[in-house]
Amino acid sequence: CSYNLHEFVTNKNIDKYGLGDKEVLLHATSGLLYLHDLRIIHRDIKPHNILITKPDARGLARALISDFGLCKKLPRDKTALTNHGSSMAGTCGWIAPEVFEGTHPLTFSSDIFSLGCIFFFLLSFGIHPFGDELNRQYNIQSQNLNLTSITDKISKNEATDLISRMVDHDPKNRPTSKQVLGHLFFWNLKKRSQFLQVPDCFILHFF
């Protein structure tokens, strides 16, 4: 791999290999979906653990999730991992509130929270939705959120809607990785236009 997502965002002189922001987020979310389908909770999703590869033989670069040292596999007969009394896993400022508190069972949604922070970090050119590094985890715990810095004017409303759902304080309200991929934010122009087209049968029904 060439470098990590933090460098991708903060180093203006870096070669991005033609990767757009949405493409990076699509790759990262797809990687998380793969882990969750294997019933693996990553527990340390952050920009430094998203790696950007050099272009392959076809000239295509990718964003990949890395550092699986804190991963936990969820047994088939369980929907969450006991978190009470265990040491905190992950990186302060990027972990979900329930992980920091250590009083709630851990689910896949804790990864979704961290990924939502990454979405905003990338789309705002390096700004964290919960503020500066010193106060970040406190702001997460107190739900002090600011999503006004997204720079993509075309997708700003969709991005704000998706991120606000991903970083919801209540883990039960967050979307799954599959639902994140299906959000309007990731729809291309063709899919958007198809959605807006009214079928003939629908028109006939009303006339």
121 close to 109: Cβ distance less than 8 angstroms: no
Residue in 44, 77, 132, 161 annotated catalytic: 44
- C-alpha atoms less than 13 angstroms from C-alpha of 182 in its C-beta half-sphere: 6
For residues 165 and 2, give the distance between their C-alpha atoms in angstroms, rounded to a whole number: 31
Question: Residue 83: which of 91, 68, 72, 94 has the closest Cα?
Answer: 72
- 67 as an active site residue: the answer is no
Q: List Cβ neighbours of 20 (8 Å cut-off, separation of 6 or more).
A: none
Amino acid identity, position 147: L
List, as own/partner pairs, every contact residues 170-174 make where C-beta atoms lie below 8 angstroms and the sequence separation is at least 24, other chains included.
Answer: 171/96, 171/98, 171/104, 171/107, 171/109, 171/110, 171/113, 172/109, 174/109, 174/112, 174/113, 174/116
Angle subtended by helix axes 109-123 and 21-37, to nearest 10: 170
How remote is the C-alpha of 199 from its chain's centroid?
34
SS3 of 6, please? helix
Pick the closest to residue 63 from 123, 4, 122 (CA basis).
4
Residues known to be catalytic: 44
